[in-house]
Amino acid sequence: MRHREPLILAVGGSHRRDASTDKALRIAALAAQRAGAEVEFIGGHELQLPIFGSVDVALIPAAQRFLSFYERCDGLLLASPGYHGSISGLLKNVLDYTDALRGSGNAYLDGKAVGCIVCAHGWQATGTTLNAMRTIVHALRGWPTPLGVGINTSSSFADDKGDCTDEGILAQLEMVANQVVSFASMQIALKRETRPLEAVPA
């Protein structure tokens, strides 16, 4: 297997293009690119999908696009607003769509590092939403990175251009991105070095 850079899929959980969630996710995605990864960004406005199980997945182009990148990616960055103490229904529904690949040999988030990012108005919602996201990642067999980023949006952290104006938050977003890229790179190297066992003569 030849050397390749990790593919990181960044998925937003807010339907608004200018949401704090998307701003935080873009900052982390750029950090992942600087760390050497290829990054595919899919904002929540691109993922307003029918409730999973209500329609044939094959008939939904947006779902097919997401699943195509998801199946090939080596790690993910997930970002959600805090809605009533948990992640947005939009993001939960998107993650439910991974069930469509359970027979492909690339089930759920198995073997993938996942960086969790939450934006909420207040620390209580920030904490409970981050905990819920990490629990869902575990349930999907993923590896939440050691650092999860919770951003209290009662204070601004980014300007109108999306540039981070808070050095502490910037450092955390860069760290979570680097952790995802580092883990994904190690997984790629492990697969490259692993050789199939030779058949033992009868």
pLDDT value at position 24? 96
Neighbours of 83 (CB within 10 A): 17
Query: What angle do the packed helices 20-34 and 167-193 form, to 10 degrees?
Result: 50
What is the distance between the alpha carbons of residues 163 and 177, in angstroms, rounded to a whole number?
Answer: 16
Return d(Cα 160, Cα 103) in angstroms, integer.
43
pLDDT at position 202 is 47
In this prediction, residue 196 carries a pLDDT of 54
- Our separate counts of H helices and E strands in the chain read 5, 6
**Phi and psi dihedrals of 118, rounded to 5?**
-130, 135
Q: What is the model's pLDDT at position 1?
A: 46
Q: What is the pLDDT along the chain (202 residues), one digit of tens a residue?
A: 456 899 999 999 999 888 999 999 999 999 999 999 999 999 999 999 999 988 888 889 999 999 999 999 999 999 999 999 999 999 999 999 999 888 777 778 988 999 999 999 999 999 999 999 999 999 999 999 999 999 999 888 999 888 999 999 999 999 999 999 999 999 888 877 765 555 545 4
- Structural domains of the chain ordered from first start: 7-193 (3.40.50.360)
Which residues neighbour 160 within 8 Å (Cβ) at sequence distance 6 or greater? Answer: none
Give residue 59's pLDDT: 84
